[in-house]
Amino acid sequence: MGYYGKSLHFICIISFSLFFSSFSQSLQNNSARILDDILQQYASKRLSRSHSSIPYKVSLPANLSGMEASVVRFRSGSLWNRGANFSGFRLPPRIMTSPYIKRLAIVYQNLGNWSSHYYSVPGHSFVTPVVGFRVYDASNFIFSVITPMDLRVTGDPISIHFPQFMLPSGLNWTAKCVTFNIDGSVLLANMTLPNVCSTRNQGHFSIVVEQPKREVRKEWKLWRWWVGAIICLLVGLVSMGLVCILLVRHTRAKKIRKMERKADQGESFNTIWVGASKMPSAAVTRTQPILENGYVP
């Protein structure tokens, strides 16, 4: 494969990678929503035999090994007056659902070693597992029907307390909170307190660090090199095309001039008028007949 072919191949790879990056992000969001529904279904079986304000661990199948889930049911009035504290989430008072319901259920999730499978932050790495919670309608004890609810936090924000974690050594790392909202958007923010993030809505949360700057700089230099090479290639192709066009025109003009010179150096003809037209005329010469023998009868 020539240089031009390699460049086209690289452009195709970049185009397809951008397309599939967007496509992959869409698939990732869909997978995360499907996981929420699956965990809710398993939580509903445990909720039917639970008491209010007590979190219960949810039994998950073997193919979800490494994840943790729990469910707790609240009365809306109790959550509004006293808030709640479970699995590292601290919900302050003055929280209610929208629309209002009598009872609600909160499903807590800890994705563990599955975190990077369902969620990702470009240019960053997770230093804690992704945790989250979703709110569902449990007012009629028909929790098997998926009815997600919205939250309204009118007082202090909800805080998420992560266990102590160690940052990789050797670089000046800056840890940040990341929020994966239900609509698929991603928000990065500074930590309010060490190992603590805050939110005003449900979703999924974690702590990330930015990947080393030297790797980003190296990738940027490689990208600039490829862009410069492609631009030089395009300029070279255009220049070669113009040169070829000029050569073809020069060769054609040279042939025409040569034909004209030959025509000027050839035999000149007299001209005669035929009607209203002037035409070339040559002297009439005729070869005298010669008999094969000199016999004349």
CA atoms of 137 and 97, how far apart (whole Å): 9
Phi–psi pair at 68, nearest 5 degrees: -130, 145
Tokens for 279? Answer: 């035409």
Q: pLDDT of 178-188, one tens digit each? A: 999 988 899 99
Question: How confident is the model at residue 133, as a pLDDT?
Answer: 94
- Before 99, cis peptide (omega within 30)? yes
Question: How confident is the model at residue 158, as a pLDDT?
Answer: 95
Least trusted range by pLDDT, from 66-75, 86-95, 179-188, 259-268:
259-268
Which is higher by pLDDT, 13 or 222?
Answer: 222
Question: How confident is the model at residue 205, as a pLDDT?
Answer: 96
Residues 6+ apart with CB under 8 A from 167: 127, 173, 175, 209
CA atoms of 161 and 183, how far apart (whole Å): 23
Question: How confident is the model at residue 288, as a pLDDT?
Answer: 61
Question: How confident is the model at residue 107, as a pLDDT?
Answer: 92
Question: How confident is the model at residue 12, as a pLDDT?
Answer: 42
In CATH terms, the fold of domain 3-211 is Chondroitinase Ac; Chain A, domain 3 (2.60.220)
CA atoms of 52 and 105, how far apart (whole Å): 9
Question: How confident is the model at residue 198, as a pLDDT?
Answer: 94
Question: How confident is the model at residue 257, as a pLDDT?
Answer: 77
CA atoms of 111 and 131, how far apart (whole Å): 6
Whole-model pTM? 0.62
Question: How confident is the model at residue 234, as a pLDDT?
Answer: 86
Q: How many residues does the structure list for the chain? A: 297
Is the pLDDT at 20 greater than 50, yes or no?
no
Least trusted range by pLDDT, from 69-73, 121-125, 170-174, 274-278:
274-278
Is the pLDDT at 143 greater than 60, yes or no?
no
